[in-house]
């Protein structure tokens, strides 16, 4: 995907200045080292050309957002007709072509050309006046910390574009009686663009029946190359391969990038997909267990934002109050992208669901700063909750717990972090990511226009309660 760069100016200063504005803008664009390309599009001088460019951006599927910078003063009334039609993410880049003020060179011509301190204030005003959601990045364009902020926003803009096209396949309904995994799928499509629909488990079983032994051989060879495994478990592993191939064929046929299933609806299947779901996650598909289509969608978006990153479907399980840590795991379906070492395929009894022993990847998660994110439906709107966490490798061997597992400390500590999470209403399921930052989440929520609650070192329960009460008014 591409981002469009529009530099603001006007006719007031003459053709020579406009030519310099364009040349400088092109130099700035060429000097940006970002994950997604930026294309110089326009030196804006009239309302008409801004409006036309915005309309083109809106209808260009490859355009993930626009970046604006006012090299000279660019009167904002001429931006109104464009900005009121803007449907793509907007970043206002408040920078300047020159880093410092040249003592001898500076005169009034120089002042008229290098006046983003002046022009970008006019530009900032119209953003505020129109209440148009925008990300502002302030700093010198050659500085890496400035460019990093643009890079972060690009990830979120690309995630938002992915979200608007996302299809989620549900095999079976939500787990019986569970509240937090429910939600308004119409609202999800309006706000997030997600098309969430159901496919019969019986149709999945029919698809499994069509999978050839040769196809299974090929996928099992891939498992062998990626994971440690014991050939005595081959029958269970082959069954997971058959499930994975059938699920992926349906996802590809439907153009879907995420799916969910439930252990309560596996009619005609011998094993709950474990290894199958884990390997699909590692290939970039989103997943949620027990019918959790919301976490499936969030996981898929994070994987689209950071294709080679570490993001997993996760669940808060058990506390260690002594060490101040949460043990996170799931019955089976944790993505191996967060593994600290080569995962191992194991086959063990699963006490839930009454099916055959499923093959699953067993591993320990890696350490480092991460984020745990939950999307909930609070009635009439979606709330995104993101908690900063510090992950660590499990502190015990836990030989009788053959699942993928990881431990973490929610910020600022277990007691306050868990307390805040409960106040906000976050689910037991999350998308756990080592790449997505709180800034990414802020950008994503702003672009999508949904409520966001960040829980971090600075969040206190009392302030959080007040924030949520205000949110009920703001987001009504």
List of residues contacting Mn ion (CB under 5 A): 289-290, 315
Nearer to Mn ion, 157 or 260 (CB): 260
DSSP category for residue 364: B
The nearest distance, CB 142 to Mn ion, in angstroms, is: 47
Q: What's the per-residue H, E or C state across 276-323? A: HHHHHHHCCCEEECCCCHHHHHHHHHHHHHCCCCCEEEEEEEEEECCC
Residue whose CB is less far from Mn ion, 277 or 391: 277
Q: What is the dihedral of CA 433, 438, 442, 447, to 10 degrees?
A: -30
Burial 288-326 (b: 16+ CB within 10 A, else e): bbbbbbbbbbbbbbbbbbbeebbbbbbbbeeeeeeeebb
Supply the minimum distance, in Å, between the C-beta of residue 260 and Mn ion: 11
User: Based on CB atoms, which residue is closest to Mn ion, 265 or 315?
Assistant: 315
Q: Which residue has the tokens 């062998």?
A: 224
DSSP for 201-233 reads HHHHHHHHHT--HHHHHHHHHHHHHHSB--GGG
Give the nearer residue to Mn ion in terms of CB position, either 161 or 168: 168
211/283 Cα distance (integer angstroms) = 19
Nearest to 165 by CA among 33, 72, 293, 254: 254
Q: How far apart are CA 322 and CA 366, in angstroms?
A: 21
d(CA 22, CA 421): 49
Task: Please state, in angstroms and as integers, the Cα–Cα distance from residue 94 to each residue in 9, 140, 406, following that order.
Answer: 14, 8, 41
Q: Which of 24, 292 has the CB closer to Mn ion?
A: 292
CB of 330 to Mn ion, least distance (A): 6
Query: Which residues touch 250 (CB under 8 Å, ≥6 apart)?
Result: 169, 199, 203, 204, 207, 256
Q: In angstroms, give the least distance from the CB of 328 to Mn ion.
A: 11
CB of 390 to Mn ion, least distance (A): 23
Q: Which is nearer to Mn ion, 289 or 391 (CB)?
A: 289
Q: Please state the closest distance from residue 309 (CB atom) to Mn ion, in A.
A: 22
CB of 429 to Mn ion, least distance (A): 6
Residue 63: in which H helix or E strand, if any?
strand 63-70
Burial group, residue 24, by CB count within 10 angstroms (0-12, 13-18, 19+): buried
Smallest distance, Å, CB 163 to Mn ion? 23
Taking the least distance from each CB to Mn ion, the nearer of 261 and 420 is 261
Please give the angle made by the CA atoms of 324, 330 and 336, to the nearest 5 degrees: 95
CA dist 404 and 362 (Å) reads 5
**Degrees to nearest 5, angle at CA 464 with 310 and 430:** 25
- Give whichever of 50 and 277 is closer to Mn ion, judged by the CB atom: 277
Please report how close the Cβ of residue 292 comes to Mn ion at its closest, in angstroms.
7
Q: What is the nearest approach in angstroms of Mn ion to the Cβ of residue 427?
A: 9
Nearer to Mn ion, 54 or 289 (CB): 289
- 265 versus 290: smaller Cβ distance to Mn ion: 290
From the centroid of its chain, how far is CA 309? Answer: 11
């Amino acid at each position: 995907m591409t981002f469009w760069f529009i530099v603001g100016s006007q006719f007031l200063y003459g053709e020579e200045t406009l030519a310099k504005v364009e040349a400088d803008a092109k130099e700035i664009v060429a000097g940006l080292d970002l994950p997604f390309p930026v294309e110089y599009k326009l030196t804006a001088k009239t309302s008409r050309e801004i409006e036309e460019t915005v309309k083109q951006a809106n209808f260009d599927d490859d355009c993930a957002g626009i970046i604006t910078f006012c090299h000279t003063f660019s009167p904002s009334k001429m931006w109104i007709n464009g900005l009121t039609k803007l449907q793509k993410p907007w970043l206002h880049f408040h920078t300047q072509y020159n880093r410092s003020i040249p003592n001898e060179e500076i005169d009034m011509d120089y002042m008229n050309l290098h006046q983003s301190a002046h022009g970008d204030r006019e530009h900032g005003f119209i953003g505020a006046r129109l209440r148009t959601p925008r990300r502002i990045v302030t700093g010198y364009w050659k500085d890496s910390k400035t460019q990093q902020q643009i890079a972060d926003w690009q990830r979120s803009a690309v995630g938002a574009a992915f979200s608007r096209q996302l299809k989620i396949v549900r095999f079976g309904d939500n787990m019986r009686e569970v509240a937090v995994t429910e939600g308004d799928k119409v609202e999800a499509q309006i706000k997030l663009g997600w098309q969430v629909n159901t496919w019969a488990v019986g149709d999945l079983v029919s698809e499994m029946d069509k999978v050839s032994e040769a196809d299974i051989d090929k996928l099992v060879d891939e498992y062998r190359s990626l994971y440690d495994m014991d050939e005595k478990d081959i029958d269970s592993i082959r069954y997971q391969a058959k499930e994975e191939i059938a699920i992926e064929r349906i996802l590809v046929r439907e153009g879907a990038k995420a799916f969910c299933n439930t252990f309560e609806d596996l009619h005609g299947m011998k094993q709950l997909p474990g290894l199958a779901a884990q390997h699909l996650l590692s290939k970039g598909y989103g997943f949620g267990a027990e019918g959790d289509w919301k976490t499936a969608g969030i996981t898929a978006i994070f994987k689209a934002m950071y294709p080679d990153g570490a993001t997993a479907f996760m669940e808060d399980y058990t506390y260690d109050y002594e060490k101040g840590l949460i043990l996170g795991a799931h019955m089976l379906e944790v993505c191996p992208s967060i593994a600290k070492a080569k995962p191992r395929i194991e086959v063990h009894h699963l006490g839930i669901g009454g099916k055959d022993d499923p093959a699953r990847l067993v591993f320990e998660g890696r350490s480092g700063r991460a984020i745990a994110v939950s999307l909930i439906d609070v009635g009439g709107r979606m709330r995104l909750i993101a908690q900063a966490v510090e992950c660590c490798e499990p502190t015990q061997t836990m030989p009788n717990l053959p699942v993928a597992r990881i431990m973490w400390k929610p910020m600022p500590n277990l007691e306050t972090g868990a307390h805040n999470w409960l106040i906000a209403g976050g689910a037991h399921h999350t998308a756990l990511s080592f790449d997505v930052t709180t800034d990414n989440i802020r950008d994503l929520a702003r672009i999508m226009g949904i409520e966001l609650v960040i829980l971090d070192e600075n969040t206190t329960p009392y302030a959080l309660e007040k924030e949520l009460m205000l949110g009920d008014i703001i987001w009504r």
